[in-house]
């Protein structure tokens, strides 16, 4: 009888265990079905997000129509300027940027980073393929936000999905430089005291005094426009579209700079990757060529003076307040591979140390027309804001001059 009871007990235990396993399998299946129902391309959450996006798009388009028609009525049907439309939208409670495209169309950009084009007949079209938005920053198509990076700590993007802050996936990485306005532009602070006192990041060209305080730059170095450029001046390079860059910054409230000094891709293009040999022994025009047209959907170029100086303001605001005066030679005694010099601020490497870097700035000298920026391991006295003039564009320009690209939308 005792043996029979033991067998019955074992049988009951066995049934209970099987039932538990079956229950767990059923629960896992139900959980999988629930997750699939909520997520995925046709999931409830995805459809809810899409519906929300569509609603917001319709609201923004309707706001444009109301503002546009209001301006047209005020002007007795004679048209609407970018300034008038932007002011009308502001009065109606919308913070936008409106740009005249010069072809009888206007482009309106909302805080959502969506772009709408008002055509000559008054119809409205929405710009597609604008990428995602993280913390108000547009992540362009083909790029991915690197987890763990924030705007105030240096928001990083990579052209390889799943890349991390250690660059283990080997993608090209760039850091977002947020901008509050354009120096001297209407509606922004154009008093240089405001720049330091209120820590505003205004796109501009700056000089920095011994305390690191910025003042508007107007000296021996300059950022040329195509109209000012003299081709015979040793063929030094200029920014491919400096006005387009400034307009992009105005519209998108920032730009991207390479996280690392350039290394060389097999195709001859500039990379921005960790622990690679810094690309030296290259002249200024060739450095510009290596930076241009890196991607199809986004503009790229060699770093210009606006991008360089404004990046220093960004570091001063959220990183080291006196960063512009940091001595580059103290970082290392010899050239290192990218990211290894010990100079890092807000996820940006090697501006104070390692190599000095080519930019599209030039000088007023015919003998020393080429500009480099930043600190360098090879000599003392250099720092992030330092401007150097150079006299040669030979490829044998030294083992201490590198460069980095910028991206703008």
User: Tens digit of pLDDT for each residue in 322-361?
Assistant: 899 888 777 777 888 999 988 999 999 999 989 999 999 9
Q: Is 14 exposed, middle or buried (0-12, 13-18, 19+ CB in 10 A)?
A: exposed
What is the number of domains present in the chain?
2
Clarify whether residues 234 and 340 are in a common domain.
Answer: yes
- The reported pTM is 0.75
Q: Please indicate, yes or no, if residue 386 is contained in any of the structural domains.
A: yes
Name the residue among 336, 343, 334 with its Cα closest to residue 384. Answer: 343
- How confident is the model at residue 192, as a pLDDT? 44
Buried b (16+ CB within 10 A) or exposed e, 270-303: bbbbbebebbbebbbbbbbbbbbebeeebbbbbb
* CA–CA separation, 398 and 356 (whole Å): 10
Clarify whether residues 156 and 283 are in a common domain.
Answer: yes
Name the residue among 283, 86, 275, 14 with its Cα closest to residue 170. Answer: 275
* CA–CA separation, 140 and 55 (whole Å): 23
Q: Is the dihedral of CA 44, 46, 50, 52 positive or negative?
A: positive
Name the residue among 360, 228, 226 with its Cα closest to residue 306. Answer: 360
Clarify whether residues 118 and 156 are in a common domain.
Answer: no
* CA–CA separation, 157 and 145 (whole Å): 5
* CA–CA separation, 279 and 41 (whole Å): 43
CA dihedral 245, 246, 252, 255 (to 10 degrees): 60
Clarify whether residues 110 and 162 are in a common domain.
Answer: no
- How confident is the model at residue 349, as a pLDDT? 96
Which range of 11-15, 97-101, 117-121, 243-247 scores highest in mean pLDDT? It is 243-247
CA dihedral 190, 324, 150, 170 (to 10 degrees): 130
Please check the confidence at residue 214 and state whether its pLDDT lies above 80. Answer: yes
What mean pLDDT is reported for the chain?
84
φ, ψ (nearest 5 deg) of residue 119: -80, 170
Q: How many CB atoms lie within 10 A of CB 208?
A: 22
Beta-bridge partner residues of 181: 202
Work out the pLDDT band at 15, boundaries 50, 70, 90.
low
Clarify whether residues 206 and 119 are in a common domain.
Answer: no
Q: Please indicate, yes or no, if residue 269 is contained in any of the structural domains.
A: yes
Q: Please indicate, yes or no, if residue 303 is contained in any of the structural domains.
A: yes
Domain that holds residue 172: 141-408
* CA–CA separation, 361 and 369 (whole Å): 9
């Amino acid at each position: 009888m005792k043996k029979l009871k033991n067998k019955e007990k074992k049988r009951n235990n066995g049934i209970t265990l099987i039932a538990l396993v079956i229950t767990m399998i059923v629960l896992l299946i139900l959980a999988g079905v629930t997750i699939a129902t909520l997520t995925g391309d046709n999931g409830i959450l995805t459809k809810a997000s899409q519906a929300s996006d569509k609603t917001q798009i319709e609201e923004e388009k309707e706001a444009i129509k109301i503002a546009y028609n209001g301006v047209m009525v005020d002007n007795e049907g004679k048209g609407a300027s970018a300034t008038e439309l932007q002011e009308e939208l502001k009065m109606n409670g919308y913070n936008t940027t409106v740009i005249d495209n010069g072809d009888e169309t206007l482009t309106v950009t909302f805080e959502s980073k969506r772009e709408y084009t008002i055509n000559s007949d008054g119809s409205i079209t929405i710009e597609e393929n604008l990428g995602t938005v993280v913390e108000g920053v547009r992540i362009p198509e083909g790029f991915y936000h690197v987890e763990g990076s924030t705007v105030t700590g240096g928001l990083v993007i990579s052209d390889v999905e799943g890349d991390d802050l250690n660059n283990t996936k080997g993608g090209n990485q760039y850091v977002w430089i947020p901008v509050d306005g354009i120096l001297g532009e209407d509606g922004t602070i154009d008093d240089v005291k405001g720049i330091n006192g209120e820590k505003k990041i205004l796109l501009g060209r700056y000089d920095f005094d011994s305390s690191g305080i910025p003042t508007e730059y107007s000296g021996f170095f300059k950022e040329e426009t195509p109209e000012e450029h003299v081709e015979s001046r040793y063929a030094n390079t200029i920014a491919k579209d400096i006005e387009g860059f400034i307009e992009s910054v105005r519209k998108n409230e920032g730009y991207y700079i390479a996280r690392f000094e350039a290394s060389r891709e097999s195709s001859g293009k500039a990379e921005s990757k960790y622990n690679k040999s810094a690309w030296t022994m290259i002249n200024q025009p060739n450095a510009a060529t290596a930076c241009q047209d890196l991607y199809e959907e986004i503009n790229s170029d060699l770093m210009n003076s606006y991008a360089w100086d404004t990046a220093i303001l960004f570091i001063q605001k959220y990183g080291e307040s006196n960063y512009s005066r940091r001595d580059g030679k103290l970082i290392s005694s010899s050239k290192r591979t990218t990211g290894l010099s010990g100079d890092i601020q807000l996820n940006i490497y090697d501006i104070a140390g390692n190599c000095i870097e080519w930019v599209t700035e030039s000088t007023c000298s015919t003998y020393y027309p080429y500009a480099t920026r930043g600190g360098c391991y090879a000599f003392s006295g250099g720092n992030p804001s330092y401007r150097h003039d150079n006299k040669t564009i030979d490829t044998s320009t030294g083992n201490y001059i590198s460069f980095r690209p910028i991206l703008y939308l």
